[in-house]
Amino acid sequence: MKTDVLIVGSGCSGLYCALQLPRDQQITIVTKRDVESSDSFLAQGGICMLKDESDYDSYFEDTLKAGHYENDRESVEIMIRSSRKVIQDLMSYGADFARDENGELMFTREGAHSDKRILFHEDVTGKEITSKLLAQVRKLPNVTIFEYTVMVDIVCKDNVCYGAILRMPDGTIETVEAKNTVWACGGIGGLYRHSTNFRHLTGDALAIALQHDVRLKDINYVQVHPTTLYSPVEEERSFLISESVRGEGARLYDKNMNRFVDELLPRDVVTQAIIDQMKKDHTDYVWEDLRPIPEEELRTHFPNIVEYCSQKGYDVTKECIPVVPAQHYFMGGVWVDHNSRTSMEQLYAVGETACNGVHGRNRLASNSLLESLVFAGRAATQIGQQKDIPVADHALFENIDAKRYMDHQTLSRENHTRVRDAIAEAELEQKEKQDSYSGAIDGLQGRRILTV
């Protein structure tokens, strides 16, 4: 196969990138499962937007504070300044956000936000956004989507990427020659026993980056979500109880039904407090009380949570629910510059796969959909402006040993080990550098917690 741009991943970042690329580019999107199985479809809480200039400083400060001031300030500025344009684009694609009786956009608040600045669509904001992006992409004649198609490697030489090696739905190995390749492969939750992510998101781009010396950044910065519904049964994916419910008044209680933490503190701080409390109480969970939220609001703003808990036997309008932390988000990733270029030429990374430093050590809630879209748009702009693209040497494609990629299970196992080891190594390096590292929730700690 040959294409101008190969996009690996069909989440919000991959789709938005496709929509922002010039229409004369032939675009191929490949995705590991069906086109809707991406974390982007799962996002519940919402997407941040700079409401007006008066909120700029506090939005900037909230992002930095949550990130322990390790954020790349320019990335943060770009994200915040681009937010209105991205939201306008989304609305022009048909995305619908909650509005008040006067038709004005409504904003909600989540932990660590000092103001209400998050747009939402009930508690299925990600589905609303991503399904509308997908509908637009499907209309484009220059885009072809391959489902159940896995990138197993890239084709590269002398630090230039010329395309990728794919495992097709029938198990055969194909190559695709691309002038530019965009990794939009999402996070790493599939490597953890308890995670809110889809199981097939296993950091494949990272494993490939490690093999080809593509630079990585902050890969031990792994965020654990403080509150997922506890289940004694080992479930496929942990169900998230959105931070927005705490923003709207939900409380956390220990085994004696006493509050033990300020629920609006940043995620990592709340997570640590829950873990400490579980240890102290010798319990597998703490309680979350959604009853302080008026029933009407619970049902209109969080219908998905109300429904899911009801299916599991909990009436959130009448009783507390047991909650436990789970792996949730990857702040680190493939290092990129402010235009989403990786350290390898003609290779870009966007969304949760990439690390432009915007989140620092810890992501502020509802910044990730926004960051994914803003920097996917910048990758598209950059690709659109490119001239003099080196042409691939055909021998590179002819000499590929397809057999190497056929044994899916061995390859996955090797890749998972590679990524886990790299995270653990980065963690140790950091600990050595910073003795007093109080450790938000990091790779090693996170793994230990999540395998309890």
Ligand X SMILES: Cc1cc2nc3c(=O)[nH]c(=O)nc-3n(C[C@H](O)[C@H](O)[C@H](O)COP(=O)(O)OP(=O)(O)OC[C@H]3O[C@@H](n4cnc5c(N)ncnc54)[C@H](O)[C@@H]3O)c2cc1C
Q: Which residues bind ligand X (CB under 6 A)?
A: 8-14, 30-33, 37-40, 42-47, 125-126, 150-151, 184-186, 196-197, 200-201, 204, 240, 329, 351-353, 366-369, 372
- Residue 34 or residue 276: which is nearer to ligand X going by CB? 34
- 267, 378, 420, 447: the active-site residue: 267
- Residue 176 or residue 316: which is nearer to ligand X going by CB? 176
User: Which amino acid does the sequence have at 448?
Assistant: R
As measured in angstroms, the least distance from the Cβ of 435 to ligand X is 31
- Residue 204 or residue 218: which is nearer to ligand X going by CB? 204
As measured in angstroms, the least distance from the Cβ of 48 to ligand X is 7
As measured in angstroms, the least distance from the Cβ of 437 to ligand X is 25
- Residue 133 or residue 269: which is nearer to ligand X going by CB? 133
As measured in angstroms, the least distance from the Cβ of 125 to ligand X is 6
How many residues would you count in the chain?
452
- 372-to-39, 50, 201, 324 alpha-carbon distances in Å: 12, 16, 16, 27
Euclidean distance between CA atoms 43 and 118, whole angstroms: 13
Q: Is 200 exposed, middle or buried (0-12, 13-18, 19+ CB in 10 A)?
A: middle
Cα-Cα-Cα-Cα dihedral sign, residues 322, 327, 331, 336: negative
Has 33 been annotated as catalytic? no
As measured in angstroms, the least distance from the Cβ of 85 to ligand X is 17
- Residue 151 or residue 309: which is nearer to ligand X going by CB? 151
Euclidean distance between CA atoms 373 and 435, whole angstroms: 36
- 176-to-156, 302, 394, 401 alpha-carbon distances in Å: 12, 43, 12, 14
- Residue 2 or residue 33: which is nearer to ligand X going by CB? 33
Residues contacting 142, CB < 8 A, separation 6+: 23, 24, 25, 26, 27
Q: To 10 degrees, what angle do helices 125-139 and 12-20 make?
A: 40
As measured in angstroms, the least distance from the Cβ of 20 to ligand X is 13
Euclidean distance between CA atoms 31 and 408, whole angstroms: 16
In 67-149, beta strands by DSSP E: 118-119, 143-146
CA dihedral 329, 332, 336, 342 (to 10 degrees): -100
Catalytically annotated residues: 267
